[in-house]
Amino acid sequence: MIPYKTVLNFFLAVTLIGIIAMPVTVQSKTYFVSPSGDDTNSGTTINKPLSSITGAIAQATAGDTVYLLPGTYKEIINVVDKKGMPEKAICIFGYSNKTDDYPVIDGGAVKPLLDGSNDWIYIKNSEWIEVAKIKFKDGWTNPIKVNNSSYISFDSCVFRGGKRVITVEGASSHHILVENCYWDQGGEYLWRIEKDSVGVEAWLSMHHVNMGYFNGSLIDFSGTGGSIVIRKNKIVNAFNGIRYRGVKGCDSNVEIYDNDISNIRDNDFEPEYYTYNLFIYHNYSHNIHRTLSVDNVEGGNIYYFGNVITLDNDLWTEKICTSFGKVYGKDRLLSFPLYVFNNSFYGAAAAYKMDAGSAVNFKHYNNAYYFTLHDGFVINKWDQTDGFDYDISNKPWPENIVNNKQEIHGKICDIKFTDPGKRDLTLQPGSKGIDAGKIIKLKELDWTQSYIGKAPDVGAYENGKPVDGPAFRFMIPPQGKISYKEKPRLVKDVIYGNKVILYFSDRIDPLSVKNNFVELYKGGEKLSITSVSFSNDNYQMNVEANSIPASGELSVSFKTMPKGINGETATYWASVIKIFRK
């Protein structure tokens, strides 16, 4: 994520009593805050900082930045009725790029609380706000509250403590980004504790008894406009990783990818009640009680692919990690499919627990399993809308798989992961998983799986690299009441020969694209673009260049932002590609 701290230039031409005003340049402002500052200072220079974070934010307008100097702050950051603008957010940043020198927001909680208000940030009725490079500690119970606010970003922050770290509420809340953050909820204690102080088993106590103050997650949202992006975070020693309680018709369009999650006492991915258009991919999960829990959930179109799940081979992990996932319904059932394809699993746990009702619309293909202890799958009830095929397991298929004529193309063998002890689940040369998969096709996303060789590989990797998957598309949920139109944003990029393919969350209007409107850079070198075209119902922009260097990071810049078919101007917000700044 790149800060939107650009200079706003405009010219004011006013004729007043025959005098024409000269052009005026207005620049974005910078404010500094320090625990040793003084609110009688201007705060506009680093040598004369303010002492109040909220006071500095009150002065900031679109494009301005509030820098927090190193030190500890015991202040709730209030962001109320603050309006940044597209590409000109109001930024609240730690001044230092060194993690050890990040400013610290101290919530003051001396111990975890079942119901407390030791808060860090309160954001209400605001938009286009960025928070970055700040440490937060001792906050409970829901220390960051986002209410009826949109385009809110948290980047490169460190969180310690908290039940539900970021709580998002309100139908007008949408487009929330959490990336590059680190969260340790309870330290090694939370991962290792066996019983609470009165002898109740730890998982039960954390779930809904004496230690229920741990039963939360990095982010929790309910009744919102959705469009949540959670990526590139590291989560350790927590009860849940990412969980939300969806309301029917709301809380849709969720992307969870490239996260590293370990030592989780319950689930690392847990939609509850309702979800729609949920993408979970390219995550690395280690030592999880259950990695994916879809339990009594309505909605659907869940895409779970390219994930790697591993468990340590020790007695403690074997005891508390019972299955890779839980999928079933009783009071609430999925109306649209749960696609679980091209994932890799290694460890002592079972595969999926499917009982206490029925798992419906469960589509399970191209997954690779190596069970170090358990016999494999636990499927106590079968639904005819489910489908299993082209998977590989080192343990035999259960009766419900065989009797329902599933896994016709599946294999029972050692798939030969490269080095599971080091969490490397790529395939060894000669693995029976190479070129052994099914070509996945998803009509609703106009997507057909790409591969190298005769067929896709089985597992989370294709030819040694993370498996390709469908690009995210914004979808209005059935019976949903979305209060906004999607601003098209960059959600995926692929380099193919001399072509860069850019995928947008919503359709681009080709008539809004002007000559030379896009610039691409590779490793800082500007590419010579020869043509720009659109395909895939205008979700896909194809940019051809004379040549593209093999190394270097890809970045993009639009001279004129394109517009969507819906009339909304595209945005850099949450772009998967670095935004080029001179």
pTM confidence score? 0.94
Whole-number pLDDT of residue 356: 52
Among all chains, which residue has been given the structure tokens 């749960």? Answer: 338
Number of H helices, E strands in the chain: 5, 52
In sequence order, the 6+-apart residues with CB closer than 8 A to the CB of 464 are 426, 427
Instruction: Check if the beta carbon of residue 199 is closer than 8 Å to that of residue 177.
Output: no
Handedness of CA 454, 460, 463, 467 (dihedral sign): positive
What is the CATH T-level fold of the domain 490-579, as seen in this structure?
A: Immunoglobulin-like (2.60.40)
Whole-number pLDDT of residue 41: 97
Q: How far apart are CA 537 and CA 76, in angstroms?
A: 46
- What phi, psi does 396 have (nearest 5°)? -60, 155
Whole-number pLDDT of residue 355: 61
Whole-number pLDDT of residue 5: 34
Please list the residues that pair with 525 across neighbouring strands.
522
Whole-number pLDDT of residue 357: 57
Please give the torsion angle defined by the CA atoms of residues 337, 339, 345 and 349, in that order, rounded to the nearest 10 degrees: 0
Kindly report each contact of residues 170-173 with a partner whose C-beta sits within 8 Å and lies 24 or more positions away, as own/partner: 170/223, 170/224, 171/223, 171/224, 171/225, 171/250, 171/481, 171/483, 172/148, 172/225, 172/483, 173/146, 173/147, 173/148, 173/149, 173/221, 173/224, 173/225
pLDDT tens sequence for the chain (582 residues): 333 333 222 222 222 223 233 333 457 999 999 999 999 999 999 999 999 999 999 999 999 999 999 999 999 999 999 999 999 999 999 999 999 999 999 999 999 988 889 999 999 999 999 999 999 999 999 999 999 999 999 999 999 999 999 999 999 999 999 999 999 999 999 999 999 999 999 999 999 899 999 999 999 999 999 999 999 999 999 999 999 999 999 999 999 999 999 999 999 999 999 999 999 999 999 999 999 999 999 999 999 999 999 999 999 999 999 888 888 888 899 999 999 999 999 999 988 877 655 688 999 999 999 999 988 888 888 888 999 999 999 999 999 899 999 999 999 999 999 999 999 999 999 999 999 999 999 999 999 999 999 999 999 999 999 999 999 999 999 988 788 999 999 999 999 999 999 999 999 999 999 877 899 999 989 999 999 999 999 999 999 999 999 999 999 999 999 999 999 999 999 999 999 876
Phi-psi region of 325 (alpha: psi -120 to 50; beta: other; left: phi over 0): beta
Whole-number pLDDT of residue 381: 82
Instruction: Check if the beta carbon of residue 436 is closer than 8 Å to that of residue 252.
Output: no
Q: How far apart are CA 205 and CA 227, in angstroms?
A: 33
Phi-psi region of 205 (alpha: psi -120 to 50; beta: other; left: phi over 0): alpha
The secondary structure element, H or E, covering residue 318 is helix 315-320
Residue whose C-alpha is closest to residue 142's, from 171, 111, 120, 173: 120
Whole-number pLDDT of residue 71: 98
Whole-number pLDDT of residue 582: 63
Q: Determine the residue type at 418.
A: T
Instruction: Check if the beta carbon of residue 152 is closer than 8 Å to that of residue 227.
Output: no
